[in-house]
Structure 1
């Protein structure tokens, strides 16, 4: 649950964009999926903007409200992004601050930097897709077609930037799980 003044921007579940919705009370609901590997946790990342500005003549005080969750959490980090003109002097609350990122607001777009960051993101997604495909194959061998299907679906979703790999993941997903449910596994 976000502070009423907060503006929600986006959510990623296990590195993939998801479509959140709002309930009748105005709370943002983010669809979570279980991980392909039963022992693995689900990673949720989201961005929102919020501020409560209090001023007097000498001090500018900004209060940042953390979201409230109604599920168990582990390894929670909170990163504050601010213009380089600002300085974080102190913080309080139940979340530990992992760090701040102070950056000058760019006057123009650095396209080389943007394309390099996109290339790195695609390479990381390709590695994750390869790992999910291998996990799916391993789970099929072990007879767990349900989690194998989840792994193949994640591999397919993560490999959208690589048409050949994406087709391999799609074919393995439909072919191998069909084989498994027809009696070749489980």
Structure 2
């Protein structure tokens, strides 16, 4: 992909590990349905979310401010595995897509507190869902089926030149949890 650094690891966690993590995340995280400001109006977020990280970390996007909840045991376990691979995230945005009607629209993770070349570590658990990438200028696009236990890494200029989305899939009845680990700079 031109002007991007994207890596996909389909089996970052084994199926057994991914099953255990998925069940733990459903129990441990304080899931809520927030609001998002889009095109001048507030709307219910089309998914459930949880924001965790180092104490007092704040993340601002789409007109709202999230204050980090403490790390859970499972999130710390996953973060330790990422540190072993050379990454040191200090926060995670968790999204629970309850079925194929839940989605995430086109966007880039380019908020100032993520730095000039953010590293986004996207882990998937549960149902396989399509993940689309689209170049901001050329509109060239790619689709990746994010598998249970997989890791997608976006870094370098990816957020500057590309957008991504998780589109609706009405035929999908199973849930998916996505964890996007990142580093917030104060």
* TM-score relative to the length of structure 2: 0.26
Higher relative contact order (CA 8 A, sep 6+): 2
* TM-score relative to the length of structure 1: 0.26
Rg comparison, structure with higher value: 1
Bigger strand share: 2
Bigger helix share: 1
